[in-house]
Structure 1
Amino acid sequence: MYLDFFGLKEAPFNLTPDPRFLYMSRRHREALAALVYGIKESKGFIALTGDIGSGKTTLSRAFLHELNPETTNIALVVNSFLSDLELLQSVNHELGLNYQTESKKALIDSLNEFLLRENGKGKTTILIVDEAQNLSIPVLEQIRMLSNLETEQCKLIQIILIGQPELAAKLQQPEMEQLSQRIMVRAHIGPLNKDELYHYVRHRLSVAGAKINISLTPAAQNRLYHFSHGIPRKINLMCDRALLAAYVAGRLEIDARMMAMAEKELELLSDPHKKNWLPALDFDSKWQVGTMVSAFIFLLAFCVWIGAHWHKAPAENASAPVVQLADATVTKPTPETVAKKPTKPTPTPKQKAITGIALASTPVPALTPAPTPMPQPVQDWTWDDNQVARVQDPELAYTASMLTLARRWGYAFDLERFRPLDKKDVQELNLPRIFQTPQVGLACFESTTPLRSLLFLDLPLVLSVDAPGLQLPPTVALLGTQGETAMVGDPRQGLLKKIPLADLENCCHSIQVIFHDPDRFMGLTIGTETTALPALCTFLESQGAWEGTKPQDGKYDAVVAAAVSRFQEKNKLPVTGCVDGPTAVLITVKRETSERPRLTAAK
């Protein structure tokens, strides 16, 4: 019902064990690693337990998808209410063997021949029993006997028991001691924690093909966690009904009220006394209630339709062509990588790869101030029409803003590679170090000087701000200026917001300066040996800062330090004698050796 409204390709919160939707929390990763280890090392017996709805079956299906069918045979038993004879018949049936006999000896002999034959071919045979907590003691004992099928070197069959915590309790019984001792690998899947819950929801929406951002307010997340206790199945039930409530309301954001409605519905379904309120009415009353509900839904849908189409009416009679919302945000893409002087040629696009994250030097349109449109919801880690990297989590705004600045310099990261990463993994990425690799040649340093004092550089900047009144995330990208107005790229809303420069300066507490440093001048100090020294000396000479003989050994000596100090003093920079961040960026600006993005339009 709500798929088209949210731009989904399929239902994101079905209860089927589809391995594509498996969210790998820390506990799930540990459990999967235990399964892989147990099979790879031929441990013989593995037990995987977990609470009801914690994702055991889905994890096991994902594990099966990782196995090579050319080297693995799988016997999957999902009906655990079996006798010991029926278990043997099920195993043989799964492996394509004769199972239509009631002789346990014949069944085991047939299985043993098959296992010896497959072992000779180098193939592994795995028996997986789901819902194993339902197995009776005689059936568990029969499974233990199957583990006796072995050669002198290895086990012929690997057995995985998957069940609820009751399975672990059953294995602790005295009569199960022999079986318990044979279980060499044990793993348990617990509930998701609060942070994982948020990423679980985002993951399932992404897999379902969400092309717009469907967000949960913090209060909604708290209510969801309180109800579900981090159990994926309960999360799915709640979110499915909350999406329906958001659809009826015509909203892309799920709030606590919608979660409360979903919770109430689930309570009615689970409590037979609460859900009998409608049958208690007489026939006429039921008809009246049904009619009122139908009328309300029709009226609500009609209002949503009117709201979505009302703005189109004047445009049909207008003489001027309608400007699309995306077109109002930014000028049409131009061939240049960054804003440039008209006399210089267009740089050739390049393909680059940095530490496993693919980069492409793609065309980036020049910034043109325009009216601020309504935000356009998009999927996390997506480049929007303004070439702003989009995320919804404010804690990821720093990474997104840094990537936005890198794109202004012609390095467009493949954002799809960020989508499967946990928030912690993204936050631990050392982007300044990645930028400074020779493949990229960007340098980065942090400054706490007033924003206005850096505007003369005419470079886009990454700003750390504390501006709840301006409705900005903790980090934004300053992409343009027009007089006393700043154009700010917001990673959450994707807008080029127009903000008074004075307001932005008041709330800015630190600045990341990113610039092109192909010769890697930044960081040079006395004693450093570098092949870039001749280029530095030539630049200092062009600035009238050089005195004395140029070094021939490529070593940054006292003479070079003195020239750098004179350059710093002349340009009112802190005199350090080394090429620190402010000095290196000023060298880049003055050299003009490459095209660069600008805060102001090219003259």
Structure 2
Amino acid sequence: MVESFFGLKREPFSIAPDPRFLYMSDKHREALAYLMYGLRRGGGFVLLTGEIGAGKTTVYRHFLEQLPGNIDVAYIANPKLGVTALLRRICEDLRVELPPHDQYVDPIDALQGHLLLQHAQGRRALIVVDEAQALSTDVLEQMRLLTNLVTNDRKLVQMLLIGQPELRTILEQPVLEPVAQRIVARFHLPSLSEGETGRYVAHRLAVAGLEGEMPFDPLALARIHKLCGGVPRRINVLCDRALFAAQSGGSRLIDSRIVDRAAAEVFGRPAPAAASPRAVTPAPATAPRRWPAWLALTGVAAAALVAGLALAPTIAPALSRSVAWMAPSRLPMIALPAPVPASAATPVVAVEPAPPPTMSAPTVVTLANASSTALNTSPDAKASATTPALAASAGTQNASLDALLAGGWTDEAGAWRALASLWGANLPAGTDPCGAALKQGLHCYRGRGGLAPIRELDRPGVLRVVDARQRVSYVVLLGLGGANATLRDANGNDLAVPLAQLARAWRGDYATFWKAPAGYREGEVVGTTGAVAPWVGERLGPPAIAASGAASAPGADETLRARVYAFQLAHGLEPDGVAGPLTLMQMNRESGVDEPRLKR
């Protein structure tokens, strides 16, 4: 096989989605920040465009993961729907009750009544349209009319349009001027630069398990960029074929000649290089943007950032969501680097939604009499990340909530030992779980809060649950879907629990394991210096701001702190510029560190 020939553990360039290969570049984080900024505006249209395969779906998936739990999403995958079919699909996704087709009712009236009721309960609606360049003028006009559904002080619905570059041209038509005027944020994803293409290829090979020399020589990487135009999906196809061609010829080094032969097979002819389009800011500007907007917008104080003023870590709590158990210690103000042209961003893999793999697993117990109104803090369309340890269910049996609570561990140490087995660790009975785990390279983390940050961490954990008689027990969280959580009890049963019922027993206590980088000491708060700082800088990729050449530019320490701060904002963490355990866990997740993930 190609993988064994090159010393890889898994296929590195599959076009199938695999969260382990996901890496958000600076441009993709910037796009995510624009989307979050637009969401905070609370109405109108948010626009995300990019070339085919540039990573729009990657940004959208991250955006979905960071949505607050009070936002309901209607996802339109078929832009060819007519006005009536579109309205019905929106009503279906938002769970608006409509009469049968033979009983006419204006769907807009039904939708407005539903949205008003949801607004009274503190909820909002977001309508997402993929491949929006295919929308007809009539449908776009109808979507504009939907944005007119308002209360006295707030719009009831917001639109996110995702499409190819021609969507921008379509919206410039005079007939669609009313739609264009309602765009509150927009961003265009450019293709990868030549340097980014090389880093992108190296990243995928590293995640696939490459430990030796890079198989692609520099000229081959340059040729790949030219042939693929910096589009990640095309890069995947070409590199996959090049590895096969090299293995067939018995060569572990891939040069430009092998790349050309592979290109002739997969493309038929060399593909033209694509120019990197310019990113579009959310408001007109006469001067070119010099600050990475994902630092400015996510901090809310864009003017202060452009002026190079100090940025306090308290200015963006709304963007980072309510994450009480994430709260790190507050630090002094962060002096951001002076505004100079941004350097190259880190490459990213373009991923599209796909069903998770099916694997064998223990029996799943479904609670009887489950509530039909289970909490829905995440749309079902969210991307899933599964591992062999957390596989799909095989069978079901009924159980009551009391039986679930009674089946949990009465001692927390037992739950810790079960959790450790998912990491491949064995904690002896009678020992301190965290102390024993530390000897095997695992650190303990404890927190308290809600499900949203647990979704973001995407790792199994121990939950403390309390029954009606205030008896405490512990269960292991294996999965977290849109309406159910999968829990393992002390008897080895996997329990599918509606979130509404879990909320009756769980008070927010959460604990988990994580793998720290080499040199990390237990309890250490990683700043901008020390043994772990280089690891943090490497995971963040090249600086988005070049500090040299500016009289007021800070040193490398402050540059790294600003980059950590921006990373935290883009991932919904409490921003302080210091890489604590939660930030390091997120970096592990993005860089493909082998850790168990939650079943969706």
TM-score (norm. length: structure 1) = 0.45
Q: Which has the higher contact order (CA 8 A, sep 6+)?
A: 2
TM-score (norm. length: structure 2) = 0.45
Larger Rg computed on CA atoms: 1
